[in-house]
Amino acid sequence: MKLAAVVRHVHFEDLGAFEQTLNQHGYQTRYFEAGVSDLGSQELRSCDLWVVLGAPIGAYEEDKYPFLSKEIALIEKRLSAGLPALGICLGAQLFARALGSRVYPGPAKEIGWAPITLTEEGKRAATRHLESGPVLHWHGDTFDLPRGTELLASTPVCRNQAYAMGKNVLAFQFHPEAIAATFEFWLIGHAVEIAGAGLSPVQLRADTQRLAGAASQRGQKCLAEWLSQLESPAC
């Protein structure tokens, strides 16, 4: 069985719906906790796939979270080798940093369910499954599109929402993995940010109950297609 090493920054932002899809494609998933686990371990370095998840911190905040420096360096090594890697939210921003791009506060927070607009490249890629309905957004930062990547999706607030580098690197600013079953953890864990943005947890909960089921199915189709096209079977 192949190993998907999952770098998690906060416990409730996990693989969600993506775990089932990874298992169905022959991957055993193993979490490595950023800031606690040894991200330089042989097990993580010799995995078949890296997945780097989200968190409510900035990809540029090494002064506050020193572990980010090592994480970015390890991501840079993996991406430069062309090995399979998937980034979600903060993960996508860390990929951008590792590829030499700037990450910075966006023009506004995007929190809640809204559609994305695919580029022509996005319509030809696995992301084509995501255009038919809204996805969960939860970020305040954005990034410059890294050199050598293709832009796949945008929103009116943030142009760079998803990108790919070849067939083995895919990054989402949004959350195609989110599921309703564990969304209450998000509402609790992000309570301060929700209040600060003037948003209603009641409305976010209701929207998620209504939309997450179909959205997670689209996300699983996207991930399944991407996995089937990976060019490198192992690190």
pTM: predicted TM-score of the whole model, two decimal places: 0.95
Walk me through the domains of the chain, giving residue ranges and CATH numbers: 2-228 (3.40.50.880)
Residues 146, 193: contact at Cβ < 8 Å? Answer: no
Rg (CA), the chain: 16
Residue numbers of the chain with a pLDDT score lower than 70: 232-235
Rounded distance between C-alpha atoms, residue 25 and residue 228, angstroms: 8
pLDDT in tens, 165-218: 999 999 999 999 999 999 999 999 999 999 999 999 999 999 999 999 999 999
| Coil, strand or helix at 15 | coil
Q: What is the pLDDT of residue 234?
A: 46
